[in-house]
Structure 1
Amino acid sequence: MSEFLNAIKKRRSVYALNQEIPVSEDRIEEIVKEAVLHTPSSFNSQSARAVVLFGEQHHKLWDLTKETLRKVVPADSFAPTEEKMASFRSARGTVLFFEDQTVIKGLQDQFAAYAENFPIWSQQSNGMLQFVVWTALAQEGVGASLQHYNPLIDEEVSKEWNVPASWKLIAQMPFGGIAAAPGDKDFAPLDTRLKVFK
């Protein structure tokens, strides 16, 4: 099995995270930079954007997410949500993934025949970026999971970190030390998911 496929197998959704990462914050930043540079995009649009939050900035994200959710989740069933927010907050940091809508609109204007496809291709490219970052973190022994509290938190995130209005929030990836390994992963039968013709 190739090193790359082994890396893919190593990437898992890790929810039990702590502050104790086996690499430096500079290394995390380097991973995200390399991923942003080298992840493919349709028409080489390079529309993906990322923000990395550490320390108090990371805590601020999950505090504001919790308070935003408090407004929409019934009080009598808020405890599990609060617990989940605390688990994300206990991680070392978070990567925020965005797509720059100005780039996408520019491509739609330039290539009108494909206009309806550019938002779809943009999401696909961003998914690849998320996967690259996630897998690269796993290779370094850093756990992570992928969260989607957008669009509920979009306005607060944009305001708090002065994100350009054209950046659309796609996902949030809390990362940190692995406090507990994820359980076994179940797989649907491959013969229902893959066809090969020769």
Structure 2
Amino acid sequence: MSTSPSAPFLDAVATRRTIYTISNETTIPDSKIVEIVQHAVKHVPSSFNSQSSRAVVLFGDAHTKVWDITLDILKARLPADMYAYTEGKNKGFRAGYGTVLFFEDQTSVKGMQEKFPAYAAAFPVFSQHTSGMVQFVVWTALEKEGLGASLQHYNPLIDEEIRKAFDVPESWQLVSQMPFGKPTADAGEKTFAPIDERVKVITA
């Protein structure tokens, strides 16, 4: 990567990885983690400036409660052999320092649908685009601060119990869960498909 103005940003994008093995330790204060999430939710663009993204940041017992809820629900639904595999993964997430829950506020989405009916069918998709950007910004920023994270999707199985446990508004739709903590092992090797097959350049 060159030393152009965009180089630090692009380097951060490249070095962000999925980290599953994390400890109940942090490299930065809780206040800084909250600041990162707030910054992402505030500044990431949204269609028609709908500002539909929401987040809940969990530390301590609140963090472990997410994964206790998830395990209880999965245990009741999965065959024993499948649950054994999932249990190991979830205990790894539970061993982390915290979790960020990402939501999209359906009140905001429906408001946009009513205001711009010609785009009504597209607004739920636009909402997911915004959420994906928020998640990526938080993930990349945590990585730059020395924390490891991964992105999980146990919704909609856990939605109702999460809503009850953390007093989440009914209109907030759970999108993903991001457990994080101090990495205890490196990410695995990442492979790439040929970039020329994935990006076309047209000049005329």
Work out whether the TM-score is over 0.5. yes
Structure 2 partner of 1:79: 84
Shift of 1:76: 3.5
Partner amino acid for 1:86?
A: K
Q: Confirm whether residue 168 of structure 1 aligns to residue 178 of structure 2.
A: no
Query: Taking every aligned residue pair, what percent have the same amino acid on both sides?
Result: 57
Partner amino acid for 1:74?
A: P
Q: Confirm whether residue 110 of structure 1 aligns to residue 115 of structure 2.
A: yes
Q: Confirm whether residue 40 of structure 1 aligns to residue 40 of structure 2.
A: no
Q: TM-score, normalised by structure 1?
A: 0.98
Q: Confirm whether residue 19 of structure 1 aligns to residue 14 of structure 2.
A: no
In structure 2, distance between residues paired with 1:52 and 1:18? 17
Structure 2 partner of 1:70: 75
In structure 1, distance between residues paired with 2:123 and 2:103? 15
Shift of 1:77: 3.2
Partner amino acid for 1:110?
A: K
Partner amino acid for 1:117?
A: A
Structure 2 residue runs of 5 or longer lacking an equivalent are 2-6
In structure 2, distance between residues paired with 1:13 and 1:44? 30
Shift of 1:22: 1.1
Partner amino acid for 2:14?
A: K
Match of 1:189 among 191, 194, 204: 194
Runs of 4+ more than 6 Å apart: none
Partner amino acid for 2:157?
A: L
Deviation by residue 1:40-65 (Cα, 9 ceiling, x = unmatched): 10000000000000010000000000
Secondary structure in 1 matching 2:182: strand
Q: Greater shift after overlay, 81-90 or 18-27?
A: 18-27
In structure 2, distance between residues paired with 1:164 and 1:21? 29
Structure 1 partner of 2:93: 88
Q: TM-score, normalised by structure 2?
A: 0.95
Shift of 1:24: 1.0
Structure 1 partner of 2:58: 53
Partner amino acid for 1:92?
A: Y
CA RMSD of aligned residues (A): 0.7
Structure 1 partner of 2:4: none
Partner amino acid for 2:170?
A: A
Within 5 Å, which residues of 2 pair with 1:152-167?
Answer: 152-167=157-172
Structure 1 residue runs of 5 or longer lacking an equivalent are none
Partner amino acid for 1:55?
A: G
Shift of 1:131: 0.3
Shift of 1:79: 1.2
Deviation by residue 1:130-154 (Cα, 9 ceiling, x = unmatched): 0000001011011000000000000
Number of aligned residue pairs: 198
Secondary structure in 2 matching 1:28: helix
